[in-house]
Chain A
Amino acid sequence: MSISDFLRGSPDGIDVSGPKLIASFDVFGVKINLTETVVLSWVIILAVVLLLLWLTSNMKTKNISKKQVVAEWAVLTIYGLVEDTMGKHWKKISPYIAGLFMFSILGSLISMLGLRSVTADFNVPLTWALITFVLIHSTNIRTHGLGGYLKGYAEPVPVMLPMNILSEVSTPVSMSLRHFGNIVSGMVITSLLYFALSVITKKIGIAFCTIGIPAVLSLYFDLFSGFMQAFIFIMLTMVYISNADGNAEEN
């Protein structure tokens, strides 16, 4: 095997490709693809629903079980985070923030089971970024009025209008690409590394490299990176919405 093969990727070695297409429908002339990403999302949803049902089953007010402690801690932590970054009047968005966080983490960590990360499909973080985009602008219009919202584009001076529009558009783009790029680069690096280590193992005949090193790197690229990107994504969502909120509490 030569370096060029390594970089090009070989059919039996590196598999860095897009999500597999499972089915395709034609709905009113629009082609709707059912991909690996969506199916894995359903697996994640099922896992989350089962986890939440288990966590919240048999809750009591006294002598609480450990899983109830976890459930209450999770809820109160998210409430605290949302109230700290957005203010008390945004408490109702907490379930969305928690859900997004969970979806993002599990979507990234599913790679540790040998499956393709849901968040390594650009469409997923793009969808979330678009939801955030809609929330930002609806909040802005709701709190400033349509006139105030439109006037905001011409501030501080009208000549800034193109810049402001660009800035608004770049927000979802940067958010989605950041998330996608981090996860997918982790995925690519991990794949390359596994491939390289297996090549080295084949060459020297001792499997010392494939034990241990991948685990440590996977810990960083999958676990840490997945967690960080999920956290960054929800924090940015909250901060952007809060910034657009004209009723934000001054603290």
Chain B
Amino acid sequence: MDFLSIDVGTILFTLINTGLIFLAFKFILFKRVDEILEKRQQEVTATYQKADDALSSANADKEKYAQAISNAKEEASGIISRAEKLAQKQGDSMIAKARDEAQAVREKASRETEREKNLAKQELQGEISELAMELAQKIMEKEINPKDHERLINDFLQNLGDKP
């Protein structure tokens, strides 16, 4: 062939060859890469969507938990205050009971003391009067009319009994 010539055959073949190269690039490289880029774009969008969903659900959970915690706090403070009241009441009743019991014990003790005292007094009275009688008998035997003496002594004892 000539060094510089226009050849219809070569032009036609080159036209076809250029078309083939174009088709190869269009349907192999560009189509496949476009598809993969599109797919990746979709995946990225889906991932972002998922992330947004996860974030909003996490925020909702957070709100829920905050609510639950504040509820729990209220409940706890309610329980504590109720427990405090109960304890107060129980303590009060226990103190009152203890006081009553102490009162009863004291009264009983006081009654006992009184009784003991009276008993002792009566015993003493009896003993003293006996002693006095013996004494009076002895005195009577010696000097005076026992009747007068007994009266005197009884008077004396009566007075004595009045003044504890």
Contact = CB atoms under 8 A, between A and B. Distances in A.
Interface of A: 16-21, 25, 30-35, 37-38, 41-42, 44-45, 48-49, 52-53, 55-56, 59-62, 68, 71-72, 74-75, 94-96, 98-100, 102-103, 121-124, 126-128, 130-131, 180
B98 interface: no
A102 B25 contact: yes
B5 interface: yes
Which secondary structure characterizes the binding site on chain B?
helix
A95 B22 contact: yes
Contacts of B8: 30-32
A99 B39 contact: no
5 shortest A-B CB distances, which residue pairs?
A95-B26, A18-B1, A32-B9, A123-B10, A99-B21
Given A41-B17, A59-B33, A72-B33, 12 more contacts: A37-B13, A38-B14, A41-B14, A72-B36, A75-B29, A75-B30, A95-B25, A99-B26, A100-B22, A103-B17, A124-B14, A127-B18
Contacts of A123: 5-7, 10-11, 14
5 contacts: A18-B2, A38-B14, A38-B17, A71-B32, A131-B15
Contacts of B6: 122-123, 126
Contacts of B33: 56, 59, 71-72, 75
Contact of B28 (A30, A35, A53, A103): A53
A19 B32 CA distance: 36
B40 interface: yes
> Which of A31, A33, A62 has the most C-beta atoms of chain B within 10 angstroms of its own C-beta?
A33
Nearest to B17: A41
A121 B10 contact: yes
Contacts of A25: 9
B4 interface: yes
Given A21-B1, A56-B28, A100 B18 contact: yes
B115 to A, nearest CB: 104
